[in-house]
Amino acid sequence: MRVINRPLALVFAAALVAASVIVIIEVIAFMAHAGPVVVHWPAWDRWAARTHWNALVIKVWSVILIIAGAIVLAFELKPPRVTRLKLHSDEKATDAAMTRKGLAETLRAAALDIDGISKAAVTVRRRRARVAATSAARDRAAADALIEPVAEAARQRLENLQMRRPPRLRVRVFPRSR
């Protein structure tokens, strides 16, 4: 989000500068009894003087503004995706954390260390981690028997990391399809 915010902020700031400069130029021109210089504002003035609030154009523009404002607000107020999960640290001035991708990778490695697991995919969110492993065997019973060893290995990794708020773990093991 921050990456997109920068060009968006640049465009917004540039628009503010342009609009402000136009207002300054037009005010100076008006005070000097000259005509409009950059924008033909008397035409806008006449349009606003004859347009009523209940006109269709006002309704349409109001809806456009509501949608545009809601999009910007939703974009800006959406909580940022968690990228670091904090760890306990002995030193007060140290803010140690595990990256989300790093945690996913270490849980994946823990699952792959278990005999009988051929593939594993891990999704880490703010409060939960999901391990979806695939067994080398094709039958369901063999896959189910691997759930507890995989969960135990993943739990062990989480405990070793000394996380401040360890995510809840959910482990599933699927039998190999073919």
Partner 1 sequence: MHTDRTNRLALTVFGLAVFLAGVFGLIVSTGGFGKAYAHRALFANRVSTYIGAHGDWLWPAAAAGCLLIALIALRWIAALLLSTDRASDITITRGSRKGTTIMHPAALSGALTREIETYHGVDTARARVLGDPGDPALVVTVTATRSADLAALRHRLESDALSHARHALGNPGLPIQLDLNVSNRTPERVS
We find the least distance from the C-beta atom of residue 141 to partner 1, in angstroms, to be: 30
Secondary structure (3-state) at 136:
coil
Q: How far is CA 144 from the centre of its chain?
A: 35
Q: How far is the CB of 86 from partner 1 (least distance, A)?
A: 10
User: Given the rule CB under 8 A, which of 23-31, 34-42, 129-137, 144-152 is the region that contacts partner 1?
Assistant: 23-31
d(C-alpha 132, C-alpha 140), whole Å: 14
- Smallest gap, in angstroms, from Cβ of residue 75 to partner 1? 8
Nearer to partner 1, 145 or 161 (CB): 161
Torsion angle of the four alpha carbons 63, 68, 73, 75, in this order, in degrees rounded to the nearest 10: 140
Residues 85-114 that bind partner 1 (CB under 8 A): 87, 89-99, 101-103, 105-106, 109
- Per-residue binding letters, 112-141, with partner 1 (x by CB under 8 A): ------------------------------
Chain positions 37 to 76 lying near partner 1, rule: CB under 8 A, are 45, 48-55, 58-59, 61-73, 75-76
Could you tell me the two tokens for 112?
């792959």
Handedness of CA 57, 63, 65, 67 (dihedral sign): negative
- What's the rounded Cα separation, in Å, for the pair 173 and 26? 70
What distance in Å separates the CA atoms of residue 112 and residue 107, rounded to the nearest whole number? 9
- Segment holding 172, helix H or strand E: strand 168-174
What residue ranges bind partner 1 (CB under 8 A)?
2, 5-6, 8-10, 12-14, 16-17, 19-21, 23-24, 27-28, 30-31, 45, 48-55, 58-59, 61-73, 75-77, 84, 87, 89-99, 101-103, 105-106, 109, 157, 160-162
